[in-house]
Amino acid sequence: MLAVRMQGIYRRYYPRGVHANDGASLEVEKGSIHAIVGENGAGKTTLMKILAGLDQPDEGNIEIEGKFVKIESPSKAQALGIGMVHQHFLMFDELSAAENIFFGIEPHRNNKVSKIAGIVDSQELNARTLQLATEYGFAIDPSAPAACLSIAARQQIEILRQLARHTKILILDEPSSVLTEQETKVLFEKLSEIKRLGHTIILVTHKIHEAMQIADRVTVMRGGKTVGTYDISETTLEELTSLIMGKSFIEATQKPIEKPQIKNTQKKTIVLHIDGLNVRRHQHYGVGLSDISFEVHAGEILGISALSGNGLDELEDVLAGFRSPSSGTCTFDGHNVELHNSRRYQSLFQKRLIAYLPSDRIRRGIAPSLSVRDNFIALSRQDFFPKGWILENAAKQAIVNAIHSFEINALPDQPARELSGGNIQKLSIARLFSRDLPKLFILCEPTWSLDIRSAEHTYRRIRNARERGTAILLLSSNIDEILELSDYVMVLSRGRRVLYQENGNWLNRAVIGEYLLGNRIHE
């Protein structure tokens, strides 16, 4: 029996005329895990927003378990048992985990005054949270403040929020784009358990290997159209990749990967030197950093990796000026600077000596309500606002060129919030690489949410910046990315440096995995 059938779905965004869905179709079997794959901007998320009542089709039919339905709103979708976990979580940081899960359907104390006043029965709320989490195999602290939770824990709360509302068709939009490899493995175990309990799961992803790993069937989308639907057991990774991206691209990317070769012909300039960095642990979550030291040279890439909750986020916060270290020194281009609340350090960003790509592209990377153009020019005051007002023609030409060069599926005046996660990431990357190169790049999870083609293009730009003499600090939980790009590799575990070494042939996924888990320490 089909849980979902969507036929002839068209969605055009006026007045821009963008065809997000162009006659798309989808059939999902009840009680299965169904993946929807395609490049960034293929129409995957739009199709799911229509199913979840968040957007309305211009044409097309939807059937839920054999009955034609019109899903005019999220509340109508919820009544039909459909719920969606978004790529960017919709949580209230000031509320607890339990309060987020049962927001709007909280249990109240069993007396008239409490019900009228809306007083929540906290004991019952926490008990229901534990019962729900246990049923689906999640480990949740009901009273934990949402602001203090890891990304993986936040995602689990989003899933439980849908399950608490008796969702039978669970949609997840790019769920692994913000997770480490280990966290993704745990997520897939949970999804298999949810499926076992009778739910239907629709997984939107650009990661084909993950679709092969977890799904029963897969639908390929390209350019807003449905290419076809295939049984996972009857297709291969190569066939799906070819359907999504074309044979010529596959052949071009099947060349063996060579690790960076460090040139020892001359001693390279130290651009950034961090010595004895210590950061106190947050009161509720995360880890501290203990005696972290490293240096980044001109024309080289230092790749730093860690599992979630082992210090990578804390290091990013310090280097980006969002968090103050308890001790440690920083030297930039031969000059001592303070890392936090230092005008001198902040001026390095303002003067374009340091350029920063944040891992959280929504909170730190873009302004969702502004247009694509305004987001692109926001950090380029000298180029587009030299006399205090905007140079319209220059700004228009710059964003048109960037959209073409970086293959951003968007229009200049389109609000950034309408873009898919991958296109938001490409916009952030375009803003960074369309200007003169800085002395230092701080790149945090640069290929999160990017499809294979876009990731390859990003790697090419990073390598080109290195060849032109820019020092690059790469913070990434993607082991393959670290190995492919880095001249030197550093690994953090429990807030401590456990590996700091030249990227040689002895380093591979298995070896780095041992260091990530803290099972090995390089003396």
Per-residue model confidence (pLDDT) at position 465: 97
Residues 6+ apart with CB under 8 A from 227: 220, 221, 243, 244
What confidence tier does 262 reach under pLDDT thresholds 50, 70, 90? low
Per-residue model confidence (pLDDT) at position 253: 46
Per-residue model confidence (pLDDT) at position 251: 47
What confidence tier does 494 reach under pLDDT thresholds 50, 70, 90? confident
Q: Token pair for residue 383?
A: 């180029």
Per-residue model confidence (pLDDT) at position 254: 47
Per-residue model confidence (pLDDT) at position 248: 46
Element (H, E) at 35: strand 33-37
- CA distance linking residue 198 with residue 130, whole number of Å: 20
Is pLDDT of 264 > 70?
Answer: no
In the predicted model, what is the mean pLDDT of residues 158-184?
90
Computed over every residue of the chain, the mean pLDDT equals 88
Pairing mode, strands 82-85 and 169-173: parallel
Per-residue model confidence (pLDDT) at position 522: 67
What confidence tier does 388 reach under pLDDT thresholds 50, 70, 90? confident
In the predicted model, what is the mean pLDDT of residues 62-86?
96
DSSP 146: G
Minimum mean pLDDT range among 146-155, 254-263, 306-315, 341-350: 254-263
Per-residue model confidence (pLDDT) at position 472: 98
Is pLDDT of 252 > 50?
Answer: no
Minimum mean pLDDT range among 87-101, 108-122, 428-442: 108-122
Strands (E), 191-297: 200-205, 217-222, 225-231, 270-279, 289-297
Q: What is the pTM of this model?
A: 0.74
* 271-326 tens-digit pLDDT: 999 999 999 876 555 568 999 999 999 999 999 998 877 889 899 999 998 888 99
- Residue 7 bridge partners (DSSP): 61
Establish whether the linkage from the previous residue to 438 is cis, with ω within 30° of 0. no
Is pLDDT of 391 > 90?
Answer: no
Per-residue model confidence (pLDDT) at position 217: 98
Is pLDDT of 165 > 90?
Answer: yes
In the predicted model, what is the mean pLDDT of residues 354-377?
91
- CA distance linking residue 279 with residue 277, whole number of Å: 7
Is pLDDT of 436 > 50?
Answer: yes
Per-residue model confidence (pLDDT) at position 246: 63
* 109-126 tens-digit pLDDT: 776 655 555 677 889 999
Domains of the chain: 1-81+168-255 (3.40.50.300), 91-166 (no CATH), 259-353+438-523 (3.40.50.300), 360-437 (no CATH)
Per-residue model confidence (pLDDT) at position 259: 56
Rg (CA), the chain: 24
